Amino acid sequence: MLVFLNFGIDEHGRYLGHTGGVSMFDTYNSLWQTLANEGVITQEEYASTNFPQVYRTTEQFTAPLRDPSSAAFKTGLRLEHVGSLHTVCPYAAAFAQHGNADRFAREFIPNLRSWSEATFAAGLSPTRSAREKIDILDNFYDRYEQLVASAPEGHAMDYIHIVLVCRKSKE
């Protein structure tokens, strides 16, 4: 047996950072564009920042396992089960319990920063000093934190996984 858990798009059209409420990627874009509009970063740096993420639907994940001409199918890999799994953002869940918007923002944003900062840093010009890049990134994430603290409802980073359980057939 082989089990895959991949970020994906569930049957409701939800995916990481876009599960209802405030879209994390739209917020990233809006804040990054604001920095460009203010001259903190250049329009070229704004345009050079790209998240290389592709989320697939259940149909896209399972297509090779249903197509007799695919390499996966020809090797005998068969789909036993497919489903989606929605994991609620633990920071949003904690906020629902404690209700402290500042605490939520302070706890939530470092999680976003831990995996997204490299993408924003990569979009910055190589002619910028390391200190200048850090200052820009601190400014960006500080703005995101202030935004969440001032209007926390709807901010979250729920996970959507597509779960595939496959078996090697004896055919």
Mean pLDDT, the chain, integer: 96
What is the separation, in whole angstroms, between the first and last Cα of the chain?
Answer: 15
Q: Which long-range contacts (CB under 8 A, 24 or more apart) does 59-67 make?
A: 61/4, 61/6, 61/8, 61/162, 61/164, 62/164, 65/164, 65/166
Which tens digits make up the pLDDT trace of 6-26? 999 999 999 998 998 999 999
Percent of the chain at pLDDT exceeding 90: 95
**What pTM was estimated for this model as a whole?**
0.88
Which tens digits make up the pLDDT trace of 97-128? 999 999 999 999 999 999 999 999 999 999 99
Residue 89, pLDDT above cutoff 70: yes
CATH dotted code for 2-168: 1.10.1200
Give the start-to-end residue ranges of the domains of the chain.
2-168
Residue 53, pLDDT above cutoff 90: no
171 pLDDT tier (thresholds 50, 70, 90): low
170 pLDDT tier (thresholds 50, 70, 90): confident
69 pLDDT tier (thresholds 50, 70, 90): very high
| Token pair listed for 24 | 């994390």
